[in-house]
Amino acid sequence: MPKASIGNYKGVMLCNRPDEFGQVQKPERQGKPPFISRVDPKDKVGLNPTKKVIVVQKKKKDTNSILVRHKRYLKMLQEKRLIEKLEKEEEENKKAETLKKFKEQTSNQRKKITKLKNEKDGDQAQETSPNLLQDTSPIKIEEPVPMPEDNKKVSQLTQENVKEFTKK
């Protein structure tokens, strides 16, 4: 048998060609190729039977529970709005009360100042009214009630704003 030569050497193919000398060719199959199964043919077909039959009951969707939850939410929302309304009224009453106290205190201070001015003028002119002389108690300066805060808009300090502040 003659030694097989490399023959047609192309690229990386270093094996002998099938048509070269010394190689036996397999006969070509006729018909369909065989089916190669991945399962042992001795096994039974299908899944194994269950040991116990378990009946699964589907949970019935309760549409009434959705309505109950919605009603509960609406009731909670109504209570929340009522609480907010009461708090708002209480806050407004508090503001009105502080404003009323502030007005009373400032009016008392104005009366005392006018009384002092009248007494000073009366000493100079020797004419005092009898009503003013009745209250001879020393002037008590009460602690001022804080003025209710207004929600003022805060803006940037610009040249125009500085001019406005300097005019005042």
pLDDT tens per residue across span 33-47: 878 777 777 777 777
pLDDT of residue 91: 96
Mean pLDDT of 101-117: 95
Number of domains in the chain: 1
Residue 156 has pLDDT above 80, yes or no: no
Cβ atoms < 10 Å from Cβ of 34:
7
Per residue in 4-15, pLDDT (tens digit) is 555 555 555 556
Q: What's the length of the chain?
A: 168
Q: What does the pLDDT read at residue 144?
A: 66
3-state SS of the chain is: CCCCCCCCCECCECCCCCCCCCCCCCCCCCCCCCCCCCCCCCCCCCCCCCCCCCCCCCCCCCHHHHHHHHHHHHHHHHHHHHHHHHHHHHHHHHHHHHHHHHHHHHHHHHHHHHHHHHHHHHHHHCCCCHHHHHCCCCCCCCCCCCCCCCCCCCCCCCHHHHHHHHHC
pLDDT for the residue numbered 80? 96
Burial 53-85 (b: 16+ CB within 10 A, else e): eeeeeeeeeeeeeeeeeeeeeeeeeeeeeeeee
* Per-residue pLDDT at 73: 96
- Tell me how far apart the alpha carbons of residues 13 and 121 are, in angstroms, rounded to a whole number: 130
What is the end-to-end Cα distance of the chain in Å, rounded? Answer: 124
111, part of any domain: yes
Which one is predicted more confidently, 96 or 160?
96
Is 84 inside a domain boundary? yes
**13: in domain:** no
> CA-CA distance, 3 to 23, in Å (whole number)?
11
Q: Is residue 81 part of a domain?
A: yes
- 70 vs 26, residue with greater confidence: 70
Token look-up 């009898």 returns 130
What residues make up the domain containing 73?
Answer: 67-118
Domain-embedded: residue 1: no
Q: How confident is the model at residue 166 (pLDDT cuts 50, 70, 90)?
A: confident
64 band by pLDDT with thresholds 50, 70 and 90: confident
| Residue at 73 is within a domain | yes
Whether residue 31 is contained in a domain is answered as no
Residue 17 has pLDDT above 60, yes or no: no
Burial readout 94-112 (b: 16 or more C-beta within 10 A, e: otherwise)? eeeeeeeeeeeeeeeeeee
Is 41 within the bounds of a domain?
Answer: no
